[in-house]
Amino acid sequence: MISVSLVGSGNVAHHLAKAISNAPNVVLDQWVVRSPSSVLIDVDTKLSEEFNPLSTSQVVILAISDDAIADYSTSLILNNALLVHTSGSVNLHHMDKKHRRGVFYPLQTFSKNKPLDFSSIPICIEALQKEDLRLLTDLAAALGCKSQIISSDQRLALHLAAVFVNNFSNQMYRIAHEISDRARLDFDLLKPLILETAMKVQELSPYRAQTGPALRKDQKTIKRHLKLLDNENHRLIYELITKSIQQTHGK
């Protein structure tokens, strides 16, 4: 049985708390939240606004904002527990060196109210000691997840790549939503295309999966699209990505 304390009440914390509570070989000793009213799920542990320094947890997970990790780690008094954060961009060494330190980074996009199969999420782990790496590997396995050991530099690069495939692509969806609304079209018409695009890269590399007017160097269609875009930022994005596709494919 692995005992865990969790700090934070955001999207990642909610999904972690639920996964831990559902795991037969993991126990949630305490869940520290700034405002108990922000918690939207029921768990078998008492919510607390302050960390209990007498906790016997083996792992303390900081699922808090990146900017708060360093200072919060300094304020903590632990009973030799392994302190980990869940950030994709914060270096392991930014936590106070008085602690055993590690990283437990679930590579996924989280929303509190969106159900998610936690066992499908890869967990990127890092620690300074071999026994701590084993503990984090065991914790990931107990949650039903696959884990991979990566360095802080690799994790930052992975987080950057994740921003492109998730945050930036979602903004593209938002722009597409604006375009479809303006033309009085239902955005749902685009959803099968969104799904097929995501499914295609499960079998093909993004390079091989690329299609469209930029790849074909279809200047007539590109000009028509640009003329239709009355938002200057959208025009710049269209032109920049078109240029990027053509450079990638040597057009």
Query: Residue 73's pLDDT is what?
Result: 96
Question: In this structure, are strands 2-7 and 26-32 parallel, antiparallel, or unpaired?
Answer: parallel
Q: Distance (Å, rounded) from C-alpha 105 to C-alpha 73?
A: 17
Residue (of 118, 114, 78, 115) closest to 98 by Cα position: 78
Query: Residue 251's pLDDT is what?
Result: 53
Query: Residue 123's pLDDT is what?
Result: 98
Query: Residue 63's pLDDT is what?
Result: 96
Instruction: Cite the DSSP H helix spans in the chain.
Output: 11-22, 69-75, 130-142, 152-162, 169-182, 191-200, 206-209, 213-216, 219-228, 232-248
Are 143 and 184 in the same domain? no
Query: Residue 225's pLDDT is what?
Result: 97
Domain count, the chain: 2
Query: Residue 35's pLDDT is what?
Result: 75
Query: Residue 245's pLDDT is what?
Result: 97
Question: Which of the listed residues 150, 178, 206 is the one where a domain comes to its end?
Answer: 150
Query: Residue 40's pLDDT is what?
Result: 67
- What is the domain-level CATH number for residue 76? 3.40.50.720
Question: Which of the listed residues 113, 132, 150 is the one where a domain comes to its end?
Answer: 150
Query: Residue 54's pLDDT is what?
Result: 75
Cβ neighbours around 30 below 10 Å, total:
19
Parts of the chain with a pLDDT under 70 = 40, 251
Domain that holds residue 173: 155-248
Are 176 and 228 in the same domain? yes
3-state secondary structure 15-75: HHHHHHHHCCCEEEEEEECCCHHHCCCCCCCCEECCCCCCCCCCEEEECCCHHHHHHHHHH
Query: Residue 206's pLDDT is what?
Result: 96
